[in-house]
Amino acid sequence: MMRYIFRSMLAAAMAAGLVGCGGARPALHLFTWADYIEPGLIKEFEQANGCRVVIDTFDSNESMYAKLKAGARGYDIVFPSSYMASVMQKEGLLAPMDHALLPNLAHVDREYLAQLALDKEMKYSVPYMLSNSGIAYRKSKVERFEPSWAMFDRADLAGRMTLMNDMRETMGAALKSLGHSLNTTDEAQIAQARDVVKRWKRNIAKFDSEQYKPGIASAEFLVVHGYSGDLLQVASEEEDVGYAPPKEGTSVACDDLVILAGSGQKALAHAFINFLHDPANAAKNTECVQFLCPNSASYAQLPEEIRSNPAIFLPEELRQKCEVIIDLGQDNAKYVRAWDQIKAD
């Protein structure tokens, strides 16, 4: 699997960096998602800056946030999704961005900033990678596939499909299927979405956010709901796997780069963020991880198969139907109640 190859390559790159830099050199500590940086870029940054890069990973925004709130220290840069970056900023966990140290911010996609970014002026966060959630399927085994959330109503595929074990993503899919906002706080609309997910539940093998990648790769599952980059990585290795964002619209997420207020390496952290937004580096990263770095100057450097992929560069008509999941504050409780009812059913 591509994801595991990346992990091995990254471990090798890190090990090489540790040997080359030596213990006396400064260390930049990253807290990020697994397999999320092109391995060669780590080594290149270490060599150029006389440092070592130490990577720790998390598997959800909530687990990352809980670890930091529990008192974890020593991290410099964290890669939260935008809504979590907003929460962290409000709680005083983040250092402000010094734009004088970040000249490559000039390359950040202005259309993304205007339409989707929560921190439009990049005061405390810099966009790193864009993704969307959608549907992967086995081409040879799924007849009459359509890019629609209605696939999960297919009784002929019962037991061979999965939905994400993620309250907002899966409830959001149901809301989009009904023509509602995935950030609605209307209790009647949330109840309608709850009932849709209950109906879909009869056809799925399980709610899952971890095994959908190897599951679709091995054909254990024939249709899965998951994140674009993960599933496009599988599709690049398995010709029989296709991926499509649903026509009704879906979630578009951005993981951001933030510097913790307690970082002891703020100058080096700024240098790393600036390095990642060098257009050539941004293109390498996009090609490697199959998520899109919103760096306009990098787009021309991408291979044609990526530039023309509508699952990476969403068509305008579809993009208008997509939304960023936002933190709903006290209204989150409405979703928690509905999700609990779905799981209990």
What SS3 state is found at 77?
A: strand
Would you state the pLDDT for residue 18?
41
H helices within the chain, ranges in order? 2-21, 39-49, 61-69, 82-90, 110-115, 167-177, 187-201, 212-217, 228-237, 266-276, 279-289, 304-307, 316-319, 332-344
Would you state the pLDDT for residue 4?
42
> For the segment 164-221, what is each residue's pLDDT rounded down to a tens digit?
998 999 999 999 999 999 999 999 999 999 999 999 999 999 999 889 999 999 999 9
Question: Does this model's pTM top 0.85?
Answer: no
Would you state the pLDDT for residue 115?
85
Would you state the pLDDT for residue 23?
52
Would you state the pLDDT for residue 178?
98
- With a CB cutoff of 8 Å and minimum separation 6, the contacts of 298 are 107, 279, 280, 282, 283, 286
Residue-range domains of the chain with CATH:
2-130+254-307 (3.40.190.10), 131-251+314-344 (3.40.190.10)
What residues in the chain have per-residue pLDDT under 50? 1-5, 8, 11-22
Contacts 24+ apart (CB under 8 A), 55-59: 55/10, 55/14, 55/30, 56/29, 56/30, 56/31, 56/32, 57/31, 57/32, 57/33, 58/31, 58/32, 58/33, 59/33, 59/34, 59/210
* Tokens encoding 257: 């780069």
